[in-house]
A and B are shown apart, each in its own frame.
Chain A
């Protein structure tokens, strides 16, 4: 899943005929001032300025300012750009026109196993969150498009009456077309509002999650996906991602500050069981990591160096199931090189290494790991006869 920020998200909705407020995304107050001279709406409408970053609770953080004139928006932009919130620095501000409205509604399209479902409610904003039972659904099979009748029925079920029924049905129809055409996994507009000037339904705020795997057939997805992670990625994480994007197979690395048990397991499935085992044993994870799909040894070496560089670690869990086709000797070769480098940099003092693995060339790989003992590593090596997560139990034994 790939999260898209409001700006490009609204761009996609606009592309499929959904009314959105006029908006611009800027990286400086000067840019906004200049755009203000070129765009009539910026001079005549009340404006909203919001930090254009993947941040929750922007309102509380003072990163949403409403009811501004152009000068006010320029001042707000100046104030927001460069602000540091946790690990994220605000680098963009989205300025849009305020739409005068009275009523607020809700509309979303969500991916389901069968296909998709369209969600509609005749309340919006925070009201819908506390009245979730007012949300009505229309389930669709994959490949099936909603008929105008079914959309109108959905609107009626949600409590829309009179001319509003058709407006909501149309809006929901366009939302579905956008969802389906753009390989979206989740589209949410909250609130949908009735524009006082012309009575049109307008999307005021959009949450857009796209299927990153479908990027190959969307050449116009020229925007970057937002970090969906609750924080910005660290330098080390980005370096591993850069390696990951270049190789066959994969290497993954996420830091968890404050932990003392470092993870270097193989496989997207086993890695989570290893993490579970650490938590179940009362340990504190220092990171998440994973390599799989027979990656080149140099990529595993880079990952190993990052893992060994985590501050304050006491144990490193080099776990793994019995591989199908990942070459244990080769990938362990990368890990061993990483260990040696870390040791040469004085990083492996008082760190215990725990190994468990099986798969192609397991004997050679495990033997090579065992030989690290002679180089002064505190290493404990186990083969397939030791159950998967037992090394975590051994490592965390008090």
Chain B
């Protein structure tokens, strides 16, 4: 047996994330004692109509979310308990809503910082209706082997260690949430564990006090003794003492009270829970409470440390008198399934990875590129081209190579607003499209006709060089198998009107006196093609491609150099339009050749 929460308890949780976290803990307990999930519904208007997924064992249970308590209990008539996880300013309304629902008999409020008056109103309303209002600021209620309300009991391992999977003989009532677990633990170590433990909250006027719960424990034959953990302030402990001393009680009462340190502290200095305030005339001090409990016949250990032995002694007496029997623990208990991460850490599973990477890793305190920490690269003078080298070709390139890449990027960063990429970005920017989409619109233009010839040019120049082809053989091969040579030809530039970017790049690379077989071959191809037609010159794509192949970059990465460089320009165009607050662009009719059929009559639909 137990009090307040048992196997028949069915729960609705009022509130958002904190409530979901509690439900997860409650599901762990349900799994441990092999009962179905006790949480049947949530009430949280912002998410009404959705579900919260609560892990139970290795599965997930979808628990519906409702707008009101009435909806929840209508759909789940077995609900008899509500846990309130609503903010302090709305907690009273939520608590009242739950108390006023005929299905609900117990309301436990977890919310902290609830105005005293609200707590009193809720408490009085519950008493009037013959219901229980527990809290505010309650950590929860747990009945061993039966039901857990809230996060009380802590992590799964602690539930097992504290033997909460089966009932013992001790009831527990605490104000402090942290100490509830400690007492449950002590009861399981020094005695046979608990029946029910209740956190009543540390406020000055908890909705239900020790006395009401003591009365319930007194009527629960399984509970043989009750441990109460008190604090200075208020008169709840004195009332408990009064109750205990009023007549012969079946249950033994063991109590400790904190706050003796106040006696040796400077006057006026107080701390602890909200309710831990001594009265104006010294009533409610730890000493007066402790004395009252002693006088009423309760067992009052002198310190918290002496509580364990006192519980042990009580238990031994109960064993001796035959009031309780030693409990044989079950040989096996359900183990909480591990998450994949936990199981891997424990070397229990092998997981086939979904993706494989060979270039970067940011699991540490900073990203590493091909193994080199980014900050170290910076501090040792490396620059952006080196990062490109590491991420695109997995090697630390030389200073000279870096300089070439830097120049390529600088030369290709932009080519004015009229080219396809920039124009597309500008068009998008003027339509109010955001940066990443507008730049993507420009990047989409990069293809066989605009900027996308670098990879192909590199591929065929490399093919020719690798196969030691002559220019003539190469041109013949291309004509037969491929078509126009990628990297050769320009719409406006020609031999007489050379592309300055090409001249610049070729000049620089040549000045370095490095081996450039591809570039040399490309320039020889230009000699032949430009002689046939003036504009069949080596264009900037072809030059970049030849140089980059010579530097050893993989052919498939070559378009990347153009995409990377031109992104700089595209971002610039977007920002430029934004800065000017440009208007939407619409094509003028006179820029369109309307070659569609003239207006005509639509024939009847057949």
Contacts and interface: CB of A to CB of B under 8 A. Distances in A.
A40 interface: no
Interface of A: 1, 111, 113-115, 141-143, 180, 183, 185, 211, 213-214, 216-217, 228-231, 252, 254, 256, 266-273, 275-280, 285, 288, 290, 292-293, 320-326, 358-361, 384-385, 387-390, 393
Contacts of B182: 270, 321-322, 358, 388
Given A185-B116, A285-B261, A269 B177 contact: yes
A276 B304 contact: yes
Complex A-B, nearest 4 residue pairs according to Cβ-Cβ distance, in ascending order = A269-B176, A230-B268, A267-B178, A321-B182
Interface stretch (B147-155, B366-374, B512-520, B574-582): B147-155
Interface of B: 21, 25, 88-89, 112-118, 120-121, 123-124, 139-140, 151-155, 158, 161-162, 174-182, 185-186, 189, 202, 204-205, 209, 229, 231-232, 234-235, 256, 258-261, 263-274, 276-277, 286, 302-305, 308
A269 B115 contact: no
Nearest to B162: A322
Given A277-B303, A324-B180, 14 more contacts: A114-B120, A141-B124, A213-B88, A269-B202, A270-B179, A272-B259, A272-B261, A272-B276, A280-B303, A285-B265, A293-B112, A324-B139, A359-B181, A384-B161
Contacts of B115: 183, 211, 213-214, 217
A211 B274 CA distance: 10
Nearest to A282: B264
Given A230-B267, A387-B305, A272 B120 contact: no
Given A183-B117, A276-B260, A325 B21 contact: yes
B178 A292 contact: yes
Query: Which of A320, A323, A325 has the most CB atoms of chain B within a 10 A radius of its CB?
Result: A325
Given A115-B120, A279-B260, A268 B305 contact: no
B260 A360 contact: no
A392 to B, nearest CB: 8
Contacts of B259: 272, 276
Contacts of B177: 267, 269, 324
Contacts of B276: 268, 272
A360 B231 contact: no
Contact of A272 (B124, B186, B272): B272
A309 B117 CA distance: 40
A276 B178 contact: no
A211 B231 contact: no
Contacts, number: 186
Which one of A280, A288, A292, A358 has the highest number of Cβ atoms from chain B below 10 Å of its Cβ? A358
B155 A256 contact: no
B261 A324 contact: no
B227 to A, nearest CB: 13
B88 A322 contact: no
Nearest to A230: B268
Given A143-B124, A324-B154, A256 B265 contact: yes
Contacts of A229: 268-270
A321 B151 contact: no
A361 B153 CA distance: 14
A231 B155 contact: no
Contacts of B120: 113-115, 142
A269 to B, nearest CB: 2
B204 to A, nearest CB: 8
B158 A359 contact: yes
Contacts of B271: 252, 254, 271-272, 288, 290
B179 A267 contact: yes
A84 B121 CA distance: 44
12 contacts: A141-B124, A230-B269, A231-B268, A256-B269, A270-B179, A272-B276, A279-B261, A279-B264, A280-B303, A290-B271, A324-B181, A360-B154
B100 to A, nearest CB: 15
A360 B155 contact: yes
B229 A269 contact: yes
A268 to B, nearest CB: 5
Contact of A322 (B89, B158, B204, B258): B158
